[in-house]
Structure 1
Amino acid sequence: METVERWTTRSDAWTPEDDNKLAEIVLRHIREGSTQLNAFVEAANLLGRTPAACGYRWNGVVRRNYSDEIKQAKQEKKSLSTLKGHFARRRTWSPDLEDTSIDGIIRALKQHERLYYELLDRNRELQEQIHSLQQEVEQLQAENRQLRDREMSSGSAADLLSEDSKTLLKIMERARKLLEAEEK
């Protein structure tokens, strides 16, 4: 039996821990926008294998167990690249490091100050928008409460109306019976 186990379990066989580490590294590289080749190099250094062996293991065995995580990592990468693009466009204030003269530094500081005040204005606008939306939410909640109260009160009014109608019908039925009795 020992001979069979020795032949079926290689000394360089992949363990579940190795597979998990490989998956973590590849998924992180996907999230960060790096290539899988870079992930295989990093995994090879960590696991004591070649990048080719890591790539073969990932593509042949491990990848199919992580399809949901791969989709999620790609979505995170997309979100991250969108944010990076947004911040890259917003980084108009960064000073020109090549112009280290006093005038260049003053220009950079003035540009930074302009951006600072623009951001303060935008922040104020957003705060006002938040306040306005909060008031709208409160107003809608109050309307919702009024409608619920009205529905509840109209429900009890409907019950009263139903009872009154039944009472009126009983009275009318008694009156009809009395008239019939008098006619006889």
Structure 2
Amino acid sequence: MITYKIRRFNIEGFEIRGKKYLSPEEEFLLSKKVFVQEKVDGKFTCRDFGDFLILCEDLRDTHTIYYKNLPSRFLGFDVYQKDEGFLEVKEAYKIMLEYGIIPVPIIYVGKVDKEMIKNFVLEKNSEFLTEINPKMRDIAKEVAPDIVGKKNFIEGVVVKYYENNRLYAGKAVNPAFEKIGR
């Protein structure tokens, strides 16, 4: 089985005690052309299709976010080819679609910095018509009232760079969701 843990960018205003952050050396991906994906709020799962492991979020049970317009229960975000490594986004998305897995949206392709990442998290709209999970609304009113009533927000972003079948990645999550999920 493949392990898939992505640490966070250390972005001012997004710090959460107890979370793991990228080291300054790992932040080299900010100097590269990267892919920025919408981070979705589900449960990690790995679907095995013989030569390929398709890494997905199972959105049957979401946490903080309620998605009104999901094209599928599973959304794919990476493909690991056994004995080879991670496939770059274009090839990975092609494989996902061949196996009936809808890929998460790509928000941006190019060089980014921490300010851009922060703006993506706070300003981009989700393609899935989002709102606060009704089960979390009372908690949200208490700890993050500014997010209550907002629509079509994203949980966060994942920034990815691929080289020689390796994946280098970092993520940023809206701090409001961290407060709600505690």
The structure with the greater share of residues assigned to helix is 1
The two structures have a TM-score, normalised by structure 2, of: 0.19
| Structure number with bigger Rg | 1
The structure with the greater share of residues assigned to strand is 2
Q: Which has the higher contact order (CA 8 A, sep 6+)?
A: 2
The two structures have a TM-score, normalised by structure 1, of: 0.18
